[in-house]
């Protein structure tokens, strides 16, 4: 999701596609910072990063999720195929619900994580960070299914924040009041509304045909004009997702398809997602390897949540034990305006971060008047989420 920033409206060397919501976000923009998300132009900052963050936590934020990779999977063997593909038990998933899941290669290394929308046992949508169509098609050999990418056909808009339910109600979508977390409903004109998001707050994600995007935006914007609605970029969203402890593929861990070196891949246990793996299933991709890894204690890393002394940003910093031995790296870090703490997510070498949790330090280089100063800051291992909000799961949702 995080790519190199592009300052101009277009790039001669690397032209990017525009999402159905591009013009709406562009009209709000004063900063002009874009990044490459799966070949699409996506906003990093719209106007002000801090104000955008507080829209997530205090009012309503709109974030363009159209570039999210989307696959539609239909057919007689769809449920059977997905149960083999992913580590969770798809058979137990109810219709009109969303399942957070992941999938591995034969070595038990994670290829990606994503969300699985179940319309029926014969019809699903898989959303993820990276493109996997060739691998998915190879995996589908022998199954009676139809599998195709619909990323360019379906627009997506994330509506998050404490007044998000009120905005949707004002826009005429009172049907959302009965949605529990990870439920979704499909209404007229093929508009899907799910109670999901990447902020750890009350929120919804909407998927709809491209041609409906502009009118839908206008309806939502009008409904939220007295409720503090604001378009946001990824930078603000990234603060909220770190506060919640959510991970991003190829940012917090390297996927098996992208890893060049063998020791850069991770199994589910090494990225904090061991709880997903349903070992009671007869078979799924990577199961034998994961059984071997667990039986022989072959995991080499642990994913950890950290609180860091002080306020200095620690993104990409190295973690040390006793200020001497390198034991890990911070994959994402931020100052949390809600928790009022410096927080981080990190990959650490076992047994550090698990059995050894004391005398841990992070090396930070802070720029002061064109000179860098090295600082060693104390680290504490904590649990996620750093910020836990009751309104996230309250049903019916809190309305303002």
Same-domain check for residues 57 and 162: yes
Q: Is 341 a domain residue?
A: yes
Residue ranges of alpha helices (H) inside the chain are 22-28, 49-58, 78-85, 133-139, 164-170, 213-223, 234-244, 287-295
Q: How far apart are the first and last CA of the chain?
A: 32
| Tokens at 280, concatenated | 């009671």
Q: What is the pLDDT of residue 332?
A: 98
**Whole-angstrom Cα Rg for the chain:** 21
Same-domain check for residues 309 and 212: no
Q: Domain boundary residue among 176, 211, 232?
A: 232
Q: Is 45 a domain residue?
A: yes
Sheet arrangement for strand 40-45: 5-6, 33-37, 40-45
- Residues 6 or more apart in contact with residue 7 via CB below 8 angstroms: 32, 33, 34
Candidates 20, 58, 52, 24; CA nearest to 166 is 58
Same-domain check for residues 196 and 325: no
| Tokens at 387, concatenated | 């910020």
Q: Is 193 a domain residue?
A: yes
Q: pTM for the whole thing? A: 0.94
Same-domain check for residues 212 and 64: yes
Q: Backbone dihedral region of 88: left (phi > 0), alpha (psi from -120 to 50 degrees) or beta? A: beta
What CATH number corresponds to the domain at position 215?
3.30.1360.120
Same-domain check for residues 319 and 224: no
What CATH number corresponds to the domain at position 368?
2.40.30.110
pLDDT tens sequence across 10-19? 445 558 999 9
Q: Domain boundary residue among 211, 232, 253?
A: 232
**What is the C-alpha to C-alpha distance for residues 244 and 228, in angstroms, rounded to an integer?**
23
Number of domains in the chain: 2
Q: What is the span of the domain harbouring residue 33?
A: 5-68+152-232
Q: What secondary structure letter does DSSP report for 202?
A: S
Same-domain check for residues 313 and 213: no
Give me the half-sphere count of Cα atoms (radius 13 Å) on the Cβ side of residue 258. Answer: 15
Q: Is 106 a domain residue?
A: no
pLDDT tens sequence across 20-35? 999 999 999 998 789 9
Q: Is 96 a domain residue?
A: no
The answer, yes or no, to whether residue 131 has pLDDT greater than 90, is yes
Q: Is 138 a domain residue?
A: no
């Amino acid at each position: 999701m995080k790519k190199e920033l592009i300052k101009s409206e277009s790039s001669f060397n690397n032209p990017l596609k525009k999402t159905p919501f591009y013009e709406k976000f562009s009209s709000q923009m004063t900063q002009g910072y874009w990044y490459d998300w799966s070949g699409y132009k996506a906003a990093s900052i719209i106007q002000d990063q801090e104000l955008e963050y507080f829209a997530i936590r205090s009012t309503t934020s709109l974030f363009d999720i159209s570039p999210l990779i989307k696959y539609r999977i239909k057919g007689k063997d769809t449920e059977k195929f997905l149960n083999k593909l992913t580590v969770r038990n798809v058979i137990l998933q109810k219709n009109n619900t969303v399942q957070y899941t992941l999938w591995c290669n034969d070595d038990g290394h994670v290829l990606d994580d994503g969300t699985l929308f179940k319309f029926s046992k014969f019809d699903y949508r898989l959303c993820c960070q990276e493109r996997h169509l060739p691998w998915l098609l190879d995996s589908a050999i022998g199954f009676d299914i139809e599998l195709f990418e619909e990323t360019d056909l379906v627009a997506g808009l994330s509506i998050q924040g404490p007044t998000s339910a009120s905005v949707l109600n004002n826009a005429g979508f009172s049907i959302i009041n009965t949605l529990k977390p990870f439920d979704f409903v499909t209404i007229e004109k093929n508009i899907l509304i799910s109670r999901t998001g990447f902020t750890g707050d009350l929120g919804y994600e909407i998927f709809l045909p491209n041609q409906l995007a502009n009118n839908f935006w206008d309806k939502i914007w009008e409904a939220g004009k007295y409720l503090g609605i604001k378009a946001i970029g990824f930078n603000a969203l990234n603060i909220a997702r770190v506060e919640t402890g959510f991970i991003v593929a190829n940012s917090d861990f390297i996927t098996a398809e992208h890893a060049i070196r063998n020791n850069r891949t991770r199994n589910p246990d090494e990225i904090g997602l061991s709880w997903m793996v349903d070992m009671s299933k007869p078979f799924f991709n990577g199961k034998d390897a994961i059984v071997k890894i667990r039986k022989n204690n072959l995991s080499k890393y642990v994913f950890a949540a950290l609180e860091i002394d002080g306020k200095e940003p620690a993104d990409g910093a190295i973690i040390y034990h006793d200020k001497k031995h390198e034991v890990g790296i911070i994959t994402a870090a931020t100052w949390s305006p809600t928790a009022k703490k410096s927080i981080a997510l990190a990959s650490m070498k076992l047994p550090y971060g698990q059995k050894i949790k004391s005398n841990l330090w992070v090396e930070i280089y802070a720029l002061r008047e064109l000179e860098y100063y090295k600082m060693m800051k104390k680290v504490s291992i904590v649990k996620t989420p750093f910020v836990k909000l009751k309104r996230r799961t309250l049903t019916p949702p809190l309305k303002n």
